[in-house]
Amino acid sequence: MDTLISKIDVDNIDMEEIKKQAEILRSGETVIFPTETVYGLGANALDENAVSKIYEAKGRPSDNPLIVHISDKKQIYNLVTNVPEKAEIVMDKFWPGPITIILNKKDIIPKRTSGGLDTVAIRMPSNKIANALIREADIPIAAPSANISGRPSPTRASHVYEQMNHRVSGIILGNDCVYGLESTVLDLTGDIPTILRPGSITKEQLEKELGTVKLDSALEKKEDNIKAKAPGMKYTHYSPNADVYIVLGERFEVIDKINKLTEENDRKNLKTGIVCLENNKKFYIGKTICLGETLEDVASNLFDALIQADKEKCDIIYSEGFTNEGIGCAIMNRLLKSAGYKIINA
Ligand code: AMP
Ligand code: MG
């Protein structure tokens, strides 16, 4: 299909281009746009037909619910049956921003958007291009990450262009995604707020505002028999072509272990990629892909590193591991999934 490509500078937004892309959304077609988390693949959340095109473009199973994006807090009252006090607090404190809340949906949200559930996920993004597009389209926009299902989420304009050109009707090429990991998903339909997917807004930050916050039990273990409440969580995710392993242990034990494994792979003619912190790069004997220095850098560069490893045609990727505290919880969640939970202890 023909794809209208718009290059937009977030600091000087071309409203003519935004209007063209918003018109595509209004006509029931799909548009990819940047957000502060990852690039999203959007369509009219209230139009089943339009939403079907998202699933088609991504090759995504249709029981995997979508996040509905809005440009103004007030729109939430049209979409859900009840906005509890804790939702008001989250919206006031963290919106616009990288957190999605789950509430009971009104009938106006088709089941196709909510993956057959009676609840709906809603978020107001802070990225100015996303906000302008949704405001201009004047409809709530369902938008999962703009990757082929199962692959790492796109966080750079080049990722969406290379993967999705001709699979959607419009693409907005914008800036790199600041946070680089998908939003925190917080279920507010029960008594205790529950994190279904960790993200850049951390459990610690939420507890400061809301009191007790739980992590969904499906996040603690892999067992398939735990029916993840965030339904999409059961599918393969964030996986590059290469086989990914996380290597855990003391800093120099990890480095030694990865160097030994790299030598073995070299002997077998297998290409190794090493995903590591900038400070450790100089100690590795193999091809490194750096994640930067801070945990924020790691979050923002992780998917790009996995995509780069694919471009380098790596057969095997070893990644250093990170703390589970703060934003580390979201990083390790994505890394474990991309590794299919394969861990090597150094
Ligand atoms: P993505 O759009 O790719 O960021 O994925 C959206 C994720 O949000 C899904 O895979 C689910 O994990 C979660 N989600 C969306 N809607 C709901 C819902 N109604 N209940 C629980 N989790 C949801
Ligand atoms: Mg996704």
Tens-digit pLDDT profile for residues 168-193? 999 999 999 999 999 999 999 999 99
The predicted model gives 10-14 an average pLDDT of 96
Residue 218 — pLDDT band, cuts 50, 70, 90? confident
pLDDT value at 120 more than 60: yes
pLDDT at 229: 47
Would you say domain 4-220 falls under CATH 3.90.870.10?
Answer: yes
pLDDT value at 79 more than 90: yes
d(CA 215, CA 200): 14
Average pLDDT, the chain: 93
Burial (Cβ within 10 Å: 0-12, 13-18, ≥19) of residue 298: buried
Nearest atom in ligand 1 to the alpha carbon of residue 183 is 4
The residues of the chain that CATH labels 3.90.870.10 are 4-220
pLDDT at 222: 52
Rounded to 10 degrees, the C-alpha dihedral 68/79/96/112 comes to -10
Q: What is the pLDDT of residues 23-64, one digit of tens each?
A: 999 999 999 999 999 999 999 999 999 999 999 999 877 678
pLDDT at 228: 45
DSSP single-letter state for residue 341: T
35 lines ligand 1 (CB under 6 A): no
Domain spanning 243-345, CATH architecture: 3-Layer(aba) Sandwich (3.40)
Structure tokens at 223: 């067992």
d(CA 113, CA 45): 6
In this structure, is the dihedral angle defined by the CA atoms of residues 247, 252, 257 and 259, taken in order, positive or negative?
positive
From 35, 64, 109, 149, mutation site for ligand 1 pocket: most ligand atoms within 8 A of C-beta: 64
Query: Which run of H or E residues covers position 51?
Result: helix 48-58
Nearest atom in ligand 1 to the alpha carbon of residue 37 is 4
pLDDT value at 305 more than 80: yes
The predicted model gives 269-284 an average pLDDT of 97
pLDDT value at 225 more than 90: no
From 32, 41, 66, mutation site for ligand 1 pocket: most ligand atoms within 8 A of C-beta: 66
Structure tokens at 26: 């209004």
pLDDT at 141: 98
Structure tokens at 12: 């000087």
From 217, 247, 335, 302, select the one nearest 38 (Cα to Cα). Answer: 302
pTM of the model: 0.93
Share of residues in the chain with pLDDT > 70 (%): 95
pLDDT at 236: 64
DSSP single-letter state for residue 14: -
What separation in angstroms does the CA of 131 have from each of 148, 154, 208, 276? 24, 19, 27, 34
pLDDT value at 234 more than 80: no
The residues of the chain that CATH labels 3.40.50.11030 are 243-345
Residue 240 — pLDDT band, cuts 50, 70, 90? confident
pLDDT at 253: 97
Atom 3 in ligand 1: residue holding the nearest Cα: 144
From 10, 339, 36, select the one nearest 200 (Cα to Cα). Answer: 36
Residue 239 — pLDDT band, cuts 50, 70, 90? confident
Structure tokens at 221: 């273990």
pLDDT value at 151 more than 90: no
pLDDT at 36: 97
pLDDT at 226: 37
Query: Which run of H or E residues covers position 271?
Result: none
Strands 194-197 and 214-215: parallel
